[in-house]
Structure 1
Amino acid sequence: MTWNSVGDYVADLIFRAAIRVALLLPYRLRIRAFGRLVAHVLAPIVGFRKRARQNLEFIFPEMPAAERQRIALQVCDNFGRNIIENYSKKQFAAHLKGTEFHGPGTAAVEAALAEKRPVLLISGHYGNYEAVRVAFANLGHPVAGLYRPAANEYFNRHYVETLTAFSGPAYPQSNRGMLAFLRHMRDGGVGAMLFDVRATRFGPVEFLGHPAPTSTAPATMALKLGALVVPAFAARASDGLSFELELEEPIELSKPDEMMREMSARLERRIRAHPAQWFWIHDRWGKPAELKKQAELEQKGQAS
C-alpha cells in the first residue's frame, strides 16, 4: 500500500464516520447539519470555498467581495446537503413523493415514454441534480446515469452505491459503461447526463461569457439514438429541503456543437438568475493561474 493509498483510506474512514453519525439524526436536521458541516468545516480545509470565490470573481469581477463570500458559503452548504441526501436515498425519495415536474418539456417526455422513444435528460451541477432521477423513479421510470469514478477508490465503492440505490442503474464513463448506457435508452429507457465539467479533449463552448472545454458526447449519443433531449433541473427551494422540478423545452436535434451551445445557454440562464445553486467548486474554466492569464488576455483584447 502506497502513502497515497494510505491517505485515501484514512480520508475515506473519516468521511464514512461523518456519514454514519449524520444518518443517526432525523432527516430534516441531518440535511441542515451536514450542509453546515461541509460549508464551515470541510470546504475551507479542502479549498472549495476559495475555489468558488475565485470562479465567481472570474465570471463576476464587478461583484463585491462580501457577496462572493456569501454565495461561496451557500454553494458549499448546498454541496453538503447534496451529499447526505444522496446517502439517504430512501428517505430522500420519500421526501420527494408528490413533487411534480413542471415546464414545457413535461408533455413531450410523457409522450416519448408512451412511445418508448429514448429520453435523454440533460443537466448540470445545479441544485441537487440527483433529485431528477429520484423523482422519475418515484413515478416508476428508473433513470440510468453516467458517472466519473472518484480518484479515491475506497470512497468510490460506496459512492457508486448511492447512485444506483433507488434511482436506477449508473455506469462509469468508459467505453463499456457508455455502451450499457446507450442500450438502456435504446430500449425505450430514460438516461441522465451532466455536461458542465471541464473536458479538455473537446473544443470550447462559451459558458458564462468565457470559453469552457465541453464534451459533445450528450449530443452525439442523442443523435445516434434519435432521443428526445430535455434540460432537467432540480432547484433547491428556499426551505433548503424541497425542490422545484422543471423540464424545459426539448433541444432540437441538429449539429453536436449547436446542441451543446444551446444546452450551455439553458444552464447559464439559471446560474445567472440563482448563482448559489450551481457548483462553483469545479475547475470549469481552468486553474486559478489559468483564469488570471485568460482574464488578462481578454482585457488586452478589449483595450486594443
Structure 2
Amino acid sequence: MGKNRKDDAPNPLHRWAILALVRAPLLLPYGLRGPVVGWLMSRVVAPIARYDQRVIDNLNYVLPDLDPAEVKRLSRAVPANTGRMLIEIASGDRFTDRIAKIQMQGPGLPALDQARAEGRPIIVVSGHFGNFDAARAALAQRGHQIGALYRPVDDPVLDTEFHTVLSRIAAPVFPRGRKGLGAMLRFLRKGNTVAILLDQFVHEGAEVTFFGKPAPTSTSAAEMALKYGALLIPVYGIRTGDGFDIIAEEPIPPSDAITMTQAINDSLEARVRAHMDQWLWIHRRWKPELQRTRAAAKTGPGPGA
C-alpha cells in the first residue's frame, strides 16, 4: 500500500530562507546588495549547505596540484560570486539599467549583428559563470528577441519566483521539459535568439571533456544549430569589480554535434581558467563515481568470469 511521503513536499523553512536571501537585501542600496549577499552565501549558507566542501572536492578532482591556499580562497569566493549573481538578477531594472551602460565586445559581434539582421536563428551558449544573465540582458538591449531555457525548481512557489525574476531580465523563458522545449524551438525557428547553459552533467550526454576529465554534456545546442542553420556562439558576462565585460566569442563552426559540443566546453574552460572564482564549482559537474560504475557495467565480466 502506497504512502503519502511528507518528505517529498516542499520544505517551508527552505523556501523561506531562499526568499529572504533574495528579497530582504532589496531594501539596501544597490551597491551594498552584492557584497552583503555574497558575504552571507560565503560565510553562512555555504558552510551550512556544505557548498564550500563541494568546491574543494571539485578542484581537487580536476586540479589536484592547485595551491591549497588558492583552493581555500576559492571555497569562499565561489559562493560569494553566486550570492552576488542571485541578488543582481533579483534586482530587476536596477541590474538591467547598469547593463545598458556596458558596450558588448568581442570578435563574434559582427556575426551576431549579421545573423539578427538576416533573421537567422541564433543559439547563444554559456555556462554558470560570472553572471550569465548579464549577457542575456545585454543581448536584449542590443535588439535581440532572446529566450532562455531554465531548469524548473521543485518548489512551485520558488519556481514562480525564479520564473518571474528571469523574465524581468528578458523574456520569454522556457522551462526544461517537452512543453518548454517545443515552445523554445518554435521561437527559435522564427529567427529569434535562445540562450542555453550547457555546463551541467547530463546522464545521456556526449562523452566529451571539461578540464581534462570526462564530463557528459548535452549536444542539444549543436544539434539544433545544425538542424535549423542557426548561429552557435559563446557569450559571457565576466565580472569586473562592480561591472561586467560582455564578450561574444567567435561562432562555433558547423561540423558534427560532438565536435561542436567539445568546442563549447573548451571555450568555457578557457574563461574559467582565467577567472577561477566566477564559475559555479558548487555543482556536480563530473560525478566520477557514477561514471566509473557505468564504465564497469559497459565492460562487463571478463572471459574468465
**TM-score, normalised by the number of residues in structure 1:** 0.91
Q: Is the contact made by 1:58 and 1:291 (CA closer than 8 Å) also made in structure 2?
A: no
2:100 alignment partner, one of 94, 97, 104: 97
SS at structure 1 position matched to 2:215: strand
Higher mean displacement: 145-154 or 186-195: 145-154
Name 1:208's counterpart in structure 2. 211
| Letter matched to residue 151 of structure 1 | D
Name 2:299's counterpart in structure 1. none
Q: Is the contact made by 2:88 and 2:95 (CA closer than 8 Å) also made in structure 1?
A: yes
The offset of 1:139, in angstroms, is 2.5
Q: What is the number of equivalent residue pairs in this alignment?
A: 291
Give the direction of change, closer, same or farther, for the CA distance of 1:18–1:263 in structure 2 (3 Å limit).
closer
Name 1:302's counterpart in structure 2. none
Give the direction of change, closer, same or farther, for the CA distance of 1:202–1:172 in structure 2 (3 Å limit).
same
The offset of 1:86, in angstroms, is 1.0
CA displacement 1:150-169 (0-9 Å, x = unmatched):
23333212111111114121
Give the direction of change, closer, same or farther, for the CA distance of 1:158–1:5 in structure 2 (3 Å limit).
farther
The yes-or-no answer on 1:137 pairing with 2:137 is no
What is the alpha-carbon root mean square deviation over aligned residues? Answer: 1.9
Q: Distance in 2 between matches of 1:202 and 1:136?
A: 28
Name 2:302's counterpart in structure 1. none
Q: Distance in 2 between matches of 1:43 and 1:245?
A: 28
The yes-or-no answer on 1:54 pairing with 2:57 is yes
Give the direction of change, closer, same or farther, for the CA distance of 1:7–1:179 in structure 2 (3 Å limit).
closer
SS at structure 2 position matched to 1:271: helix
Give the direction of change, closer, same or farther, for the CA distance of 1:166–1:63 in structure 2 (3 Å limit).
closer
Higher mean displacement: 136-145 or 50-59: 136-145
CA displacement 1:86-136 (0-9 Å, x = unmatched):
111111001111211111100000011110101111101110001111112
Q: Is the contact made by 1:9 and 1:154 (CA closer than 8 Å) also made in structure 2?
A: no
Higher mean displacement: 157-166 or 249-258: 157-166
| Letter matched to residue 31 of structure 1 | G
Note the 1:38-187 alignment, pairs <5 A: 38-187=41-190
Q: Is the contact made by 1:8 and 1:154 (CA closer than 8 Å) also made in structure 2?
A: no
* Structure 1 gaps, min length 5: 295-304
| Letter matched to residue 245 of structure 1 | I
Q: Distance in 1 between matches of 2:65 and 2:126?
A: 28
Q: Distance in 2 between matches of 1:176 and 1:6?
A: 24
Q: Distance in 2 between matches of 1:128 and 1:293?
A: 34
Name 1:252's counterpart in structure 2. 253
SS at structure 1 position matched to 2:203: coil
SS at structure 1 position matched to 2:57: helix
SS at structure 2 position matched to 1:95: helix
Q: Is the contact made by 1:133 and 1:142 (CA closer than 8 Å) also made in structure 2?
A: no
The offset of 1:5, in angstroms, is 5.2
Give the direction of change, closer, same or farther, for the CA distance of 1:206–1:18 in structure 2 (3 Å limit).
closer
Percent identity over paired residues: 36
* Structure 2 gaps, min length 5: 295-305
The offset of 1:138, in angstroms, is 2.1
1:16 alignment partner, one of 19, 24, 33: 19
Name 1:262's counterpart in structure 2. 263
SS at structure 2 position matched to 1:213: coil
Q: Distance in 2 between matches of 1:18 and 1:281?
A: 18
SS at structure 1 position matched to 2:123: strand
Q: Is the contact made by 1:231 and 1:249 (CA closer than 8 Å) also made in structure 2?
A: yes
The offset of 1:293, in angstroms, is 9.4
Give the direction of change, closer, same or farther, for the CA distance of 1:200–1:166 in structure 2 (3 Å limit).
same
Higher mean displacement: 59-68 or 122-131: 59-68
Name 2:283's counterpart in structure 1. 282
Q: Is the contact made by 1:133 and 1:168 (CA closer than 8 Å) also made in structure 2?
A: no
Q: Distance in 1 between matches of 2:107 and 2:126?
A: 16
SS at structure 1 position matched to 2:149: strand
Structure 1 stretches of 4+ with a deviation exceeding 6 A read: 291-294
The yes-or-no answer on 1:271 pairing with 2:272 is yes
Q: Distance in 1 between matches of 2:70 and 2:292?
A: 20
